[in-house]
Structure 1
Amino acid sequence: MHYFQPLHEGYFANGFKLMLVPEPPMIIQAWNIRGLGCASHVRALKKDTRYLNSDILFLSETLSPSSKISPILNSLGFFNQCFIPPHGDKKLSGGLCLAWKNGIDLEITFQNNNLINALVFLDPPHSPWMLSAVYGPPHWCSKRQFWENMDLIGNSFSGPWICIGDFNAISNQSEKQGGRPVQNSSPGGLNGFINNNFLLDLGFSGNPFTWTNNRPLSANIKERLDKAYANSQWRFLFPDAAIIHLLGKCSDHLPIVLKTHKTSFLGPKPFRFEAGWTRDPSSHLVVKSAWRQHVAGSVAEILCKKTTLTSSMLRKWNLSHFGHIQSRIKFLTQKLDVIQQQEPTIRNIELEKNIKLAIDEQCKREELLWYQKSRIRWRSEGDLNTKFFHLSTLVRRRRNTIDFIKNSDGAWISKREDIGNCLVINFQQLFLSSNPVFPEDLDGLISPVLSDSDKAALCEIPTMEEIKQTVMHFSSLKARGPNGMPALFNKSYWDTVQDDVSKTIRDFFLYAILTSTVLGFLGSGGGSFRTVTVSSPSWQTAEMASILAFSGSTNFLINLPILLSILTYLAPSFSSSRFLSPLITRTLSSSTCTLIPPDFSPGMSMMNTYEFGYSFTSAGVAAMALASRT
């Protein structure tokens, strides 16, 4: 049983009021059980329900009277029950049951042969959300009226709403395997219902199909009939909610489970630079303070250490000064309400103006925060919408969440530690080298295509201005490096960091030295890296030019993917914009074009090109992949 937590109030040191209103965790189980008269069905129901410790249980096609179902539910702790009896000839069709445990504040508002509708009240703050337990009619003649009723129910309630159960309908071809192709549903069908009510598919974990006709070979048909849809308000209320498909044991339908809260992960949270910080002038003071600290080491090591120190200081500054945007907005709004009810003196009018500006600034910061988290790039920064980006973030997070994973033995793993271990073992085996033997001399394998002038151009050391222009050219909020810093950090604080960033890039082009400290930092502390040291300044002419001319040391080529990915995080790839882009179209042959993604363009960062070749090959093959791609 999940007990509700009390409301707590508190205050920050700076006077802002904090309201902690935890939503009660809840588990809802829905299953088209296809009859409770069978002992095996009852056993499966009891086993799953006790294991899940469900709070609300919805059963469809019970095919049994309430007198037989009620004792079973009582034994499972569901003492609150609502029944729709079976109908049709000999009462052998349909039958619904919605049951819930004590402590769940639930009120039935409507019921018929295809639906049990209820309001679920949160405590606190005792505001309801609507639950529609659905059993879609299997016959076409009844579907139109069913969807019309569902639209009416949706229009009658303006709060959070979720629909769960067996819809007996699919929205697209991806929800069906076998049988006839799916035709677009009519305007009054499932897709029309989803569009009319602006509902979101909550997705699922597990088997992609919840129903099968249990026929063999080509006659077998599988469909995803059991699912859940919710509006954006419900999604905001339960951002971590997830649907899980359980294993099928007896019915031709799989049970589905809705968990409103995922298991908390108490591991360390990585640092992430927030775009909204740049709007606060005091953030510049924090960065300058960190950058003035004396640190020892090589040029690259100094940059890494200063970046780490900056991350630590920004994290503390965010907690003490910048964070808690919602609490600040609420505090300022309450203060504005008080001021507006006072006499309109010159002082109060000026104070009201300043409070409005402060509220507007906090709203802009909130919009920018969710814009960055949403990863949406097709809207301009001036066209922000907090609710839209917040919802986009929730959907993306839910889509990217790994709740279960199937190991090599076919067993499902759900514990976070076990999932992590399984992934580590899998990638260790995946990238384990087979120790292939390569000839030492590969000079004649591919003919050089670059002229001496091209090679000389590639060896030029970038100027400070060229580095700055390239840094400013890159997307501000695109994927950041493992240190949590996107390109926006360098752009916003360039006056402070430019010397160290530029020196590091120029130093590498001169000497090609990356110590283990740098590699460990940029690799986020993971894996074992070799220190790459080339002492001769002539390395560029002998090696860099030979890479694009397809001759020279293959040992360096094997290290190149690591080096280039490292430089991607030190600063954006200036070589792609100044050196490599003009040469790409001349160096790519028809045979190498087959390896290039369709959306590849001369303006694309060559770092991604190198990393692509390295990601899908062993170390030895990577050398050939890199050579053939450039």
Structure 2
Amino acid sequence: RKLGFDDRLAYVSLVGLSGGLLLFWDFYVNIIQIKKKSFYIAVEFSLGLDPPQWGIFVYFSTCKQARISQWEELLEDKDHWGDSWFTIGDWNDLRTAEEKLGGIKKSSRSFLGFNSFINRMGMDELPLQGYKFTWCNLRDGEGMVEEKLDRGFASFSWTQSYQNACISNKIKSASDHSLLLLDLGQQNNKRTARFHFDERWIGMEGFQETVEAAWSQHTEGTPFFRLKEKVKNTKVALLTWSSQLKSKNQMTIEVLTKKLEILREDKAEDYWDQWNKTRNDLNEAHRLEEQYWQQKSRLRWIKEGDGNTKFFHAYTLQKMKLNAISRLITPQCNVLTSRVDIENHISEFYSDLFHTEGSWDGDSILQLIPRTISDDMNQDLLKPVSEDEIKSALFSLHPEKSPGEDEMSA
């Protein structure tokens, strides 16, 4: 609940100090049913207008005999999933000798059991993008061992529905296992993002100079028009300046992540020194991301530095999805799914709603309504607003909220 998922979770408890599974899902995922065993959580669900499918999230035992028993259980349970399903997790087994680097070499015979199980399941392995190993014992020198223990599979029917699906290997510096990201390969129609002032800019090199240069540009017209132009000039200047900064920040994370992969492959003499330095630099880059997503989530009750980047990110995406309209049913019972069609229909609806062909004489009705505002009160309401009142109202707003037509926050 503290992570914002309420009761949208399922779990399998630990057995001693091993095993255990924890599954969260977002509010837009329609859960139909959940089945659990000691080593997996199987969920039947649907996404939007897509037909129902099964996702089986697994953690297999490190003990070979126990793992074989789990294979047989999964084979028996497979009939409950229908034709469309995928499974992903820690399989604790290898398919080929190339999936292990370092340590004691395995014989080709040791791979027969796992590959036979995969064939009996009738599933295809989903392509893995990025570094080819998903686990490392994080030991120095010749004691280091890397293996591909984590992977995903899917039924033939599922792969036909999601032909562009793939899994990305996201190396995590704080864990011996990588994070696997399953991408269904579906395209989303996204609108152009609005300008949003990023509080991380404050104090960064070039920020103060950019604002001062934009604000000092010569403008002509009424005082309010000049103010509006100055705000616009500042926004344009910040967009130009921040685009370079944003690209640099994203590139930094990508470069450092790639460097971790390269360090694992090269295994230079000063490997661990470089690894620790790169990991610290990457953690700092992620700290900035945490600050960014905290601001976007607009949650003020969690402090920076609490390691809640994923929560801030998830909360922000949840707000976006709550505000999003993915489909609309018209009064004629037509279902609109295209963003352009939805926007046009909403525009026409409110245009018709507020359209008027004239006004009626309501004076006779208004005269029957008793007056509750005196002349003195009316004069007080109609008097010009003072600068102090404007300042008081403006400064009472949260500095990162209430963006106006110029897209600048208060």
Greater Rg by CA: 1
